[in-house]
């Protein structure tokens, strides 16, 4: 018998897992996406008819949601980046002996479920929360204005929920920067801002790319934040997929899922090409 080398044996469980829970579902999804309901059959019974029109119809019906998902996800990613960069910088360079405690605090939200944290945000921003009543009393917002059921609430919610995904890769790459290169930059006539622009930022690009991807990808497919914090005008593609799934309209759901995956894949590839991370050490 031919000897099987150990590395392949070690890879086996991983491959088995990926095949069962990734390759097989994807193939099944592809199969369902071109199916049609069986005429006269029960609800939820479909047959394969290779109807690629499913994709076009699904897209035309939901393009508004597609667009909204991408815009919301981009904004949430941008906000998370703006919050995380200074945080990660401080963690890496200024936290001293509190570094580990602060890192635990960054990860701490993960100890509670994603859903519960979003419900908590709903309470905070809700009518009876501690944000809206004081603002009303001060006259900063009108009696009819709400904070929930707005695009802002959805975007802020996503930025909050995916913040650790942004902070940790950023921290990891900023922490790797030798502080003496920053001193060298100052020594070579660069002021603080120029040093950031010419040295710190380029050296932390791997973290920026990883963090933005880890935030953007789940945000683009998210439906929890829109469901709990948004209103009827803030539904994202994730919400459409979820509601279609419950009908059940599996072919449309599958087609939408495939298109979302394709869209994200294209955006990621273009982004990585642009950011040129392979050039960054």
CB of 205 to other proteins, least distance (A): 8
Separation CA 152–CA 274 (nearest Å): 29
Tokens 């897992």 sit at which residue? Answer: 17
User: Could you please report the per-residue DSSP string of 48-109?
Assistant: E---THHHHHHHHHHHHHHHHHHHHHHHHHHHHHHHHHHHHHHHHHT-GGGHHHHHHHHHGG
**Closest CB to other proteins among residues 103, 190:** 190
CB of 204 to other proteins, least distance (A): 10
**Closest CB to other proteins among residues 198, 273:** 198
**Closest CB to other proteins among residues 4, 281:** 281
**Closest CB to other proteins among residues 128, 178:** 178
CB of 170 to other proteins, least distance (A): 16
**Closest CB to other proteins among residues 202, 221:** 202
* CA triple 29-34-35, angle to 5 deg: 95
Determine contact, residues 255/62, Cβ cutoff 8 Å: no
CB of 274 to other proteins, least distance (A): 16
Residues in touch with other proteins (CB under 8 A):
178, 180-181, 183-191, 194, 198-199, 202-203, 279-281
Exposed/middle/buried for residue 92 (C-beta within 10 Å: 0-12, 13-18, 19+)? buried
**Closest CB to other proteins among residues 202, 231:** 202
**Closest CB to other proteins among residues 33, 204:** 204
Structure tokens at 3: 């000897």
Determine contact, residues 215/76, Cβ cutoff 8 Å: yes
CB of 182 to other proteins, least distance (A): 9
CB of 171 to other proteins, least distance (A): 18
**Closest CB to other proteins among residues 204, 239:** 204
Q: Which residues lie below 8 Å from residue 189, measured CB to CB, with a gap of 6+? A: none
Strand partners, 47: 36
* H/E stretch holding 215: helix 205-221
User: CA torsion, points 68, 146, 224, 124, in degrees to nearest 10?
Assistant: 140
CB of 190 to other proteins, least distance (A): 5
CB of 278 to other proteins, least distance (A): 12
> Phi and psi (nearest 5°) for 86?
-60, -35
């Amino acid at each position: 018998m031919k000897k099987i080398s150990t590395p392949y044996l070690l890879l086996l469980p991983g491959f088995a897992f990926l095949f069962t829970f990734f390759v097989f579902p994807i193939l099944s999804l592809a199969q369902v996406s071109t199916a049609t309901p069986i005429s006269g059959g029960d609800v939820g019974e479909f047959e394969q008819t290779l109807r690629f029109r499913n994709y076009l119809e699904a897209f035309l019906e939901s393009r508004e949601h597609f667009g909204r998902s991408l815009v919301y996800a981009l904004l949430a990613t941008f906000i998370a980046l703006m919050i995380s960069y200074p945080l990660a910088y401080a963690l890496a360079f200024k936290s001293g002996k509190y570094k580990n405690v602060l890192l635990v605090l960054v990860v701490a939200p993960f100890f509670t479920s994603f859903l519960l944290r979003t419900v908590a945000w709903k309470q905070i921003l809700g009518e009876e929360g501690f944000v809206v009543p004081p603002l009303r009393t001060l006259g900063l917002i009108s009696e009819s204005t709400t904070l929930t059921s707005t695009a802002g609430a959805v975007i802020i919610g996503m930025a909050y929920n995916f913040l650790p995904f942004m902070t940790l890769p950023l921290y990891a790459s900023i922490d790797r920067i030798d502080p003496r290169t920053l001193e060298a930059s100052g020594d070579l006539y660069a002021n603080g801002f120029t040093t950031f622009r010419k040295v710190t930022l380029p050296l932390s690009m791997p973290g920026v790319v990883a963090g933005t991807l880890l935030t953007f990808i789940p945000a683009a497919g998210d439906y929890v934040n829109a469901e709990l914090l948004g209103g009827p005008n803030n539904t994202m593609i994730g919400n459409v997929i979820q509601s279609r799934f419950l009908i059940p309209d599996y072919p449309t759901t599958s087609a939408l899922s495939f298109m979302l995956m394709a869209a994200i894949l294209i955006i990621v590839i273009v982004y990585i090409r642009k950011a040129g991370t392979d050039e960054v050490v």
